[in-house]
Amino acid sequence: MVTEYVAQAKQCPGCGTLTEGELPPHVRARASFGPETCAQAANLTCGHHIPIWRSTLLLCQLAGVAVSTGWMAGIRGKAADLVEASGFPDRVRELLKAAPAVHADETPARAAGGTRYVHLACTAYLTLMHTGDRSSDAIDAGGVLPGYCGVIVRDGYAGYGHLTDALHAWCGAHLLRDLKSLYDFEPGLQDWAAKMATVLIEARDAARAARQAGQPALDPEVLDGLITRYRQLATTGLTANIYRRTATARDARRIAQRFLTFEDMILRFATRPDLDIFTNNEAERTIRPVKVQQRSSGGCWRTLAGLADFAIVQSYLSTAAKWGISKLDTLRGLFNGHAWIPPGLEPSG
């Protein structure tokens, strides 16, 4: 369907004032594609990570709209500009800084012939990504974690260590994988690792039961028993391998020392059972589209700006999807001048 817009100009015969008709914002040229075409194109490239050439063919075959590959290649940038102008990133930053717990992660991405990182701060209902290197300054550039006073759920990367205003929680899934790998390699000598994994799982289940019961803390006797077993097993793992000179023993000493040194971080999920923070799986799931897009795009982004645009648009689509809004409907609103903005930390219902 083709729509013609005519903007007339009339001059008042009395005062001479010239009044001109205003065209819709998306009408910027003598011939241009409307918001529905833009939304469908962005849904293919941004929502479903389909390469540019294939997206161009699909739009032509499914909708009968013959766009160029150059126009399709620019649609993500147009969407990113609209998301930025809508105030969406500032609103999500504001909400994330008020959240009791934030999941953080980072992942490498190939762009412009080098390696950049996509940084993430998210909750079950909010997503905010930005790009940079892997430094502390790049982590802070997202505008969420500096000064944040809640709980940061993360992996063991030391780049988050400067965020001292917040409490930190170490992802339990990472720890369980390390313990399993150690035990599987030397089941006879690293029995402490299997027992430590059991303690973590028991503590996770106790924290879940307390949360479901509306209890703000574990029973002191239960918590003390878990911590006592935890410390005994970590000490056993260290002493049992301290005089051994194998590679596995070195790994065992490193892991046991980690449990002793970072007890507060590792057991944060048990001392704060009101928060569902045993794993950082929320961040792992949310940041996975970076790898999906990279694989579908030939292994890289051509420009740093393209990667930055991806981070902005993916933040918008991911947040909307977490609220149960389809990507296509979200993009339709965006290109029609009605960008969706999250109303709060989570649905009120």
The tens-digit pLDDT sequence of the chain (349 residues) is 777 777 888 989 989 899 988 877 767 666 678 899 999 999 999 999 999 999 999 999 998 989 999 999 999 999 999 999 999 999 999 999 999 999 999 999 999 999 999 999 999 999 999 999 999 999 999 999 999 999 999 999 999 999 999 999 999 999 999 999 999 999 989 999 999 999 999 999 999 999 999 999 999 999 999 999 999 999 999 999 999 999 999 999 999 999 999 999 999 999 999 999 999 999 999 999 999 999 998 889 999 999 999 999 999 999 999 999 999 999 999 999 999 999 999 998 6
Which pLDDT belongs to residue 7?
A: 80
**Residue spans per domain, the chain:** 172-271
- Ramachandran angles phi, psi of 196, nearest 5°: -65, -40
Which pLDDT belongs to residue 31?
A: 64
Alpha helices for the chain (secondary structure H): 35-42, 52-63, 69-73, 75-86, 88-98, 136-140, 172-185, 191-212, 220-241, 247-261, 263-266, 268-271, 281-287, 289-296, 304-322, 327-335
- Ramachandran angles phi, psi of 169, nearest 5°: -130, 125
Contact present, 68 and 53 (Cβ < 8 Å): no
Which pLDDT belongs to residue 2?
A: 73
The residues with which 127 forms a beta bridge, in sequence order, are: 122
Contact present, 330 and 317 (Cβ < 8 Å): yes
Which pLDDT belongs to residue 29?
A: 66
**Pairwise CA distance, residues 249 & 193, whole Å:** 12
Which pLDDT belongs to residue 298?
A: 86
Which pLDDT belongs to residue 26?
A: 67
